[in-house]
């Protein structure tokens, strides 16, 4: 089986390369089958968001990208909670939506203090790539989508720690990243997966 | 140190007292870690608020990392000591977390060497045990582990902004997120059917609200 490549790459950074490597690894394990080319348009939104944070070059730009990511997460968890497919996990989705909103609120305040402006919030399912497909599936599909979302958020904050300059933003970013990692614990347990598989939580897919 | 002393750590205001109380002979180098980070007083923490340019690390980073290494060695001693009281799934979790803490310690040790520093040596099991509360049940071990992990989270959150190397800040963030995961898993072990209690705060600081 030939390796897949990314084309139409408006987001062809190391982040996407990592995603691509992960897909290759999965293909070798027989877990993924499909076409020979991944178009940029099929790359999940959260990878684009992580990419945006990775490309940001100052604190305000990083914050703006982080706000966008958090707003996507709020929207996704709210939609998941209302889907009626999660059973008891619906309360967890509601809690996570609330916590993502707290992140967004805190980041927006910091962004505005730097003279920035929050990006527009998503208003419909189609604004979040992949959400409609996940919401159309079962509880496992929704939980797996949430795992990907949180993993990318962790990766975005991990990337940001190499660039952020303001000490208070570094502390806040670490406390948010740690919360996203805790979300992953609950989601993985719901999926009967190892809740804490890696000693270094980087948002990597390997 | 008594159990009451340790439980008092649940109050964030007492964390600094803990470092004074415990000293280097009881919790490895937590006091040194805090000192290397510039303390957790608000005034000291904000003293560097002018910015954090990446200088690629240096002597100060090595000092902070040695404090972190002491914390990791303390965690290794705690999980090792507690394993005898764990059974079944809890034992499997304890072993996994022990492995994680060892990976942290190994990575930090290498980073200190890369910076030209000398990694602190771990103390003996008996020396660590003298600073631990009395552990008589699996629940005792889990509660103790939660407190230790929260303390580590707080210490790393304090330390990250003071590291001058961007790469080391990333490593610190990766470790603190893993410690936060441990807290969630351990909280879940205490209350298996209450997922919401596993993630009590949107901003994870290691300090009790």
- Render pLDDT for B151-169 as a digit per residue (tens, 0 to 9): 999 999 999 999 999 999 9
How far is residue B107's CA from residue B165's CA, in Å, rounded to a whole number?
Answer: 15
Distance (Å, whole) CA B133 – CA B6: 7
Higher pLDDT, A4 or A180: A180
Please indicate whether, in this complex, the C-beta atoms of A195 and B184 are within 8 angstroms of each other: yes
Complex ipTM, two decimals? 0.80
pLDDT of residue A130: 87
> Is A182's CB within 8 Å of B180's CB?
yes
% of chain B exceeding 70 in pLDDT: 72
pLDDT at A27 over 50: no
Burial class (CB in 10 A: 0-12, 13-18, 19+), A5: exposed
User: Residue B193 has what pLDDT?
Assistant: 76
Higher pLDDT, B22 or A79: A79
Residue partners of B35: CB distance under 8 A and separation at least 6: B67
Mean pLDDT for the stretch of residues A119-146: 92
The pair of structure tokens assigned to B86 is: 């764990």
Asked if residue B55 lies in contact with residue B164, where contact means CB atoms within 8 angstroms, the answer is yes
Judged by CB atoms within 8 Å, which residues 150-169 of A form the interface with B?
154, 157-159, 161-168
User: Would you place residue B207 in the very low, low, confident or very high pLDDT band (cuts 50, 70, 90)?
Assistant: confident
Q: A117 and chain B: CB distance < 8 Å anywhere?
A: no
Give yes or no for residue A124 having a pLDDT over 80. yes
Q: What is d(CA B203, CA B200) in angstroms, rounded to the nearest whole number?
A: 9
In terms of residues, how long is chain A?
206
pLDDT digits (tens, 9 = 90+) for B3-32: 333 333 333 333 333 333 233 223 434 445
B176 touching chain A per CB within 8 A: yes
Q: Residue A54: what pLDDT? A: 75
Arithmetic mean of pLDDT over chain A: 81
A176/B203 CB distance under 8 A: yes
pLDDT of residue A38: 34
Mean pLDDT within B52-80: 89
Tell me the average pLDDT across A104-132. Answer: 94
How close, in Å, is residue A108 to chain B by CA atoms? 15
Contact in structure between B138 and B90 (CB atoms under 8 Å):
yes
Element holding A60 (H helix, E strand): helix A59-82
Lowest-pLDDT range of A24-38, A150-164, A191-205: A24-38
Contact B177 A102 (CB under 8 A): no
Residue position matching structure tokens 């609120």: A105
Mark yes or no for CB contact B180/A184 under 8 Å.
no
Mean pLDDT of A118-145: 92
Nearest to A174 among B51, B97, B176 (CB): B176
**Residues of chain A numbered 7-66 and touching chain B (CB < 8 Å):** none
pLDDT beyond 80 at B81 = yes
Q: What is the pLDDT of chain B when averaged over all its residues? A: 80
Tell me if chain A has a CB within 8 Å of the CB of B47. no
Contact A167 B107 (CB under 8 A): no
Residue A181 confidence (pLDDT): 98
CA A27 vs. chain centroid, Å, equals 22
pLDDT-based confidence at B55, cuts 50/70/90? low
| pLDDT over 70 (residue A206) | no
Residue A147 in this model has a pLDDT that exceeds 80: yes
Range 96-115 of A in CB contact (< 8 A) with B: 96, 98-100, 102-103, 106
CB contact B166 to A (< 8 Å): yes
Q: Per-residue pLDDT for A32 more than 70?
A: no
- Residue A144: pLDDT band (50, 70, 90) is very high
Identify whether the C-beta of residue A173 lies closer than 8 Å to the C-beta of residue B173. Answer: yes
pLDDT value at position B195? 83
pTM passes above 0.90: no
φ/ψ of B205, rounded to 5, equals: -120, -10
The residue of chain B with its CA nearest to that of A151 is B177
Say if CB A167 and CB B45 are below 8 A apart. yes
Q: Which of B42, B52, B174, B188 to mutate to test the interface with A (most CBs of A within 10 A)?
A: B174
Q: Percent of chain A, pLDDT > 90?
A: 66
Confidence bin at A75 (pLDDT 50/70/90): very high
Convert the pLDDT of each residue in B177-202 to its tens digit: 999 999 999 999 998 878 889 999 99
Cβ separation B166–A161 shorter than 8 A: yes
What's the whole-number mean pLDDT along residues A65-88? Answer: 94
B196 touches A: beta carbon within 8 Å: yes
| Rounded-to-integer distance, Cα A60 and Cα A58, Å | 6
% of chain A with per-residue pLDDT over 70 = 76
* A31 vs A187: which has the higher pLDDT: A187
Q: What is the pLDDT of residue A194?
A: 97
B192 CB neighbours in chain A (<8 A) are: none
Mutation to test the B interface, candidates A15, A106, A170, most B Cβ within 10 Å: A170
pLDDT at A35 over 70: no
Which residues from chain B sit within 8 angstroms of residue A96, using beta carbons? 199
CA distances from B180 to A8, A29, A82, A104, A127 (A): 38, 30, 28, 20, 31
Size of interface A-B (CB pairs under 8 A): 155
């Amino acid at each position: 089986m030939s390796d897949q490549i990314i084309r139409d790459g408006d987001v062809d950074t190391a982040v996407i390369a990592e995603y691509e490597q992960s897909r290759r690894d999965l293909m070798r394990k027989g877990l993924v089958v499909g076409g020979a080319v991944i178009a940029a348009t099929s790359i999940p939104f959260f990878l684009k968001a992580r990419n945006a944070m990775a490309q940001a070059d100052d604190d305000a730009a990083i914050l703006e990208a982080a706000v966008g990511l958090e707003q996507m997460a709020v929207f996704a968890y709210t939609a998941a909670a209302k889907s009626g497919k999660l059973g008891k996990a619906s309360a967890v989705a509601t809690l996570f939506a609330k916590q993502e909103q707290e992140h967004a609120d805190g980041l927006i305040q910091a962004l505005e203090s730097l003279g920035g402006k929050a990006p527009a919030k998503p208003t419909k399912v189609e604004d979040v790539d992949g959400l409609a497909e996940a919401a159309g599936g079962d509880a496992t599909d929704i939980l797996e989508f949430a795992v990907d979302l949180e993993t990318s958020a962790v990766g975005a904050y991990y990337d940001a720690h190499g660039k952020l300059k303001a000490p208070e933003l570094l502390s806040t970013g670490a406390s948010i990243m740690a919360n996203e990692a805790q979300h992953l614990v609950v989601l993985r347990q719901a999926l009967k997966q190892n809740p804490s598989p890696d000693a270094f939580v980087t948002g990597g897919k390997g | 140190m008594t159990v009451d002393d340790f439980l008092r750590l649940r109050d964030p205001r007492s964390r600094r007292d803990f470092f004074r109380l415990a000293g280097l002979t009881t919790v490895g180098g937590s006091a040194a870690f805090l000192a290397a980070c510039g303390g957790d007083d608000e005034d000291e923490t904000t003293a560097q608020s002018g910015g954090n340019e990446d200088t690629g690390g240096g002597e100060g980073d090595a000092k902070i990392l040695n404090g972190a290494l002491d914390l990791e060695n303390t965690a290794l001693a705690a999980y090792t000591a507690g394993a005898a009281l764990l059974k079944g799934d809890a034992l499997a979790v304890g072993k996994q977390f022990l492995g994680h803490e060892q990976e942290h310690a190994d990575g930090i040790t290498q980073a200190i060497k890369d910076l030209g520093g000398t990694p602190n040596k771990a103390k003996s099991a008996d020396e660590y045990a003298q600073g631990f509360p009395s552990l008589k049940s699996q629940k005792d071990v889990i509660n103790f582990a939660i407190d230790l992990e929260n303390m580590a989270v707080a210490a790393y959150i304090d330390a990250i902004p003071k590291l001058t190397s961007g790469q080391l800040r990333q490593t610190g963030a990766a470790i603190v997120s893993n410690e936060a995961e441990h807290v969630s898993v351990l909280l879940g072990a205490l209350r298996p059917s209450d997922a919401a209690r596993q993630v009590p705060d949107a901003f994870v600081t290691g300090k009790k609200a």
